[in-house]
Amino acid sequence: MLRIPRLALLVLSALPAITLPAAPAEAPKPALGADLFFKSPEFTAPAISPDGRNVGFIAQSNGHACLFRLDLQTGQMAGIFSAGEGDVEAFWWTGNDRVLIAARGRDNLTYLVQDLANSKPRTVDNLHNWSSDWIKILPHDPNHIVGFNKRIDLTTGKYSLIEYASADDVPVFSADGEIRAKLWAEMGKWHITWRANQKDPWHTITCSSEEQPTFVPLAVDVDDHGILVVANDQGNTQALMRLDPLTGQRTLIEQRPNRDVWGLLTTGPERRPIGVLFCGLDTREVVHFDEADRQFSTALDRSLPGMIHRVTSTSADGTKRIIEAWFPGYPPRHFLFDAVARRLSQLGDERPDITAGVLGDVEFFKFKSRDGLDEFGYVVVPKAAPKPAPIIVRAINGAGDALPDPGWFNAQDQYFASRGYAVAHIGVRGTPGFGREFQNAGDFQLAGKVVCDLEDAVDYLGRTGQIDLRRVAILGDGLGGLSALHTAAVSNRFHAVVAYDPTCDLTATSIGWLSSSRADTPTIVKLAGGTKAAYDLVHQFEPDSFMAKLTAPVLLVNTSWYGFSSDTGGKRIRGSMDRHHKVYEWYELDLRDYEHVKNETYLAKINTQIADYLDHTLK
Q: Are 538 and 399 in contact (CB under 8 A)?
A: no
* HEC profile of 277-326: EECCCCCCEEEECCHHHHHHHHHHHHHCCCCEEEEEEECCCCCEEEEEEE
Give yes or no for residue 18 having a pLDDT over 50.
Answer: no
**Given this model, what pLDDT does residue 563 score?**
54
Q: pLDDT confidence of 599, banded at 50, 70, 90? A: confident
Amino acid identity for residue 241 in this structure: M
What average pLDDT does range 410-422 have in this prediction? 95
Say what the pTM is: 0.90
Output the average pLDDT for the chain: 87
What average pLDDT does range 184-204 have in this prediction? 88
Q: Are 563 and 557 in contact (CB under 8 A)?
A: no
Convert the pLDDT of each residue in 286-338 to its tens digit: 999 999 999 999 999 999 999 999 999 999 999 999 999 999 999 999 999 99
Query: Looking at 29-43, 254-268, 270-284, 405-419, which range is the least confident one?
Result: 29-43
- C-beta neighbour count of 161 within 10 angstroms: 8
What average pLDDT does range 24-50 have in this prediction? 79
Kindly give, in sequence order, each residue whose CB lies less than 8 Å from that of residue 74, ignoring residues fewer than 6 positions away.
none
Domain boundaries, the chain: 1-165+285-357, 170-268, 361-506+541-617
Q: For residue 31, which phi and psi values (nearest 5 degrees)?
A: -60, 145
Convert the pLDDT of each residue in 542-568 to its tens digit: 999 999 999 999 999 988 765 554 456
Q: Which residues pair with 240 in a beta bridge?
A: 230, 254
**Given this model, what pLDDT does residue 20 score?**
40
**Given this model, what pLDDT does residue 524 score?**
86
**Given this model, what pLDDT does residue 560 score?**
76
What average pLDDT does range 436-465 have in this prediction? 95
Q: pLDDT confidence of 6, banded at 50, 70, 90? A: very low
Q: Are 377 and 51 in contact (CB under 8 A)?
A: no
CA–chain centroid gap for 270, Å, is 20
Convert the pLDDT of each residue in 494-516 to its tens digit: 999 999 988 887 765 688 889 98
* Nearest Cα residue to 178 out of 214, 141, 211: 141
Rounded CA-CA distance 388/380 in Å is: 13
**Given this model, what pLDDT does residue 403 score?**
92
* Nearest Cα residue to 483 out of 550, 564, 411, 416: 550
* Nearest Cα residue to 417 out of 41, 134, 23: 23
Rounded CA-CA distance 545/549 in Å is: 9
Kindly give, in sequence order, each residue whose CB lies less than 8 Å from that of residue 409, ignoring residues fewer than 6 positions away.
326, 329, 330, 331, 332, 351, 359
Kindly give, in sequence order, each residue whose CB lies less than 8 Å from that of residue 393, ignoring residues fewer than 6 positions away.
424, 426, 454, 457, 458, 472, 473, 474, 475, 494
What average pLDDT does range 17-42 have in this prediction? 64
**Given this model, what pLDDT does residue 133 score?**
83
Q: pLDDT confidence of 140, banded at 50, 70, 90? A: confident
**545 against 357, higher pLDDT:** 545
Rounded CA-CA distance 171/104 in Å is: 25
Please provide the CATH number assigned to the domain covering 361-506+541-617. Answer: 3.40.50.1820
Q: Are 475 and 395 in contact (CB under 8 A)?
A: yes
**Given this model, what pLDDT does residue 372 score?**
95
**Given this model, what pLDDT does residue 509 score?**
64
What average pLDDT does range 66-76 have in this prediction? 94
Residues for the chain: how many in total? 619
Q: Are 87 and 101 in contact (CB under 8 A)?
A: no
